[in-house]
Amino acid sequence: MSDSDTYNVRTLRRTSLFCPSQWEGQTIDGKEIYIRYRYGTLEFWVASKAGTRIDWQPEELIIAHKVGDEYAGALSCENMRFAISMLLPDKVILPETCEGEIDQDSLNEKVTASWEKLSDLISSGGIKVIPDQEASQLDPKENLFLTADRQTAEEYALRGYDTADTSQCGLLGGDVQFKVLE
């Protein structure tokens, strides 16, 4: 980005709610833009030429700045707009609204509802929390394991277990496996 570049964004549409939060759009001069927030880093990309897709070349990355912790992956349009305005003052002009946006209260409600569903599954016996050493003795073809630790997820996957690493969203606070009961 040269000192004279200003990106006036005409359209902005949320394409992912969280993990990552992301938006796509177009500048008034026809350049594609992409904004992404994952692992606490906010990125702002602009295609090098109007009418072309972003090629993910270093010169297209306008900024990548850490604004949250390593597990952060959810950002409202309002907070993204604020962060961009602070990081790139007078360089990026974003529209007043983002298509497909959900307000922070609704986002909080969705996260709370997800936790309540998980809690209901655990309390009803639909999911059982078990120690790591017991998990290694279970049949990997009949059980699903979730872990908040990427290395543990990779180790279980290599041993034939179905795993889901939840660390990118910070949904679980530690190394936990779940057995799905039938």
Helix (H, G, I), strand (E, B) or coil at 44: strand
What does the angle CA 9 – CA 26 – CA 53 come to, to the nearest 5 degrees? 140
Q: Report how far residue 135's alpha carbon sits from residue 149's, in angstroms, rounded to the nearest whole number.
A: 15
- Percent of all residues in the chain with a pLDDT value above 90, rounded to a whole number: 30
**Cβ proximity of 176 and 78 under 8 Å:** no
pLDDT over 70 percentage in the chain: 55
pLDDT of residue 139: 61
Question: Ranked by mean pLDDT, which of 27-41, 102-116, 143-157 comes out on top?
Answer: 27-41
Q: Are residues 13 and 37 in the same domain?
A: yes
Q: What is the pLDDT of residue 144?
A: 57
What are the pLDDT digits (tens) for 54-95?
988 889 999 999 988 887 888 888 889 999 999 999 899 999
- Number of structural domains (the chain) is 2
Is residue 141 a part of any domain in this protein?
Answer: yes
Which of 102, 135, 152 is the last residue before a domain boundary?
A: 102
pLDDT of residue 8: 94
This prediction's pTM = 0.60
Domain containing 87: what range?
7-102
Domain annotation covers residue 135: yes
Average pLDDT of the residues in 152-157: 61
Residue 61 tokens read as 């990355």
Task: Kindly state whether residues 13 and 91 are assigned to the same domain.
Answer: yes
pLDDT of residue 99: 86
* pLDDT at position 93: 93
* 174 occurs within a structural domain: yes
Rounded distance between C-alpha atoms, residue 35 and residue 135, angstroms: 39
Mean pLDDT of the chain: 75
Q: Give 157 or 112, the one with higher predicted confidence.
A: 112
pLDDT confidence tier of residue 13, bands split at 50, 70 and 90: very high
Kind and range of the H or E run holding 126:
none
Note the pLDDT tens digit of each residue in 43-57: 999 999 998 889 888
Summarize the confidence of residues 7-22 as an average pLDDT.
89
Examine the domain organization and report whether 90 and 156 are in the same domain. no
Mean pLDDT (whole number) for 151-162? 60
- In a domain, residue 1? The reply is no
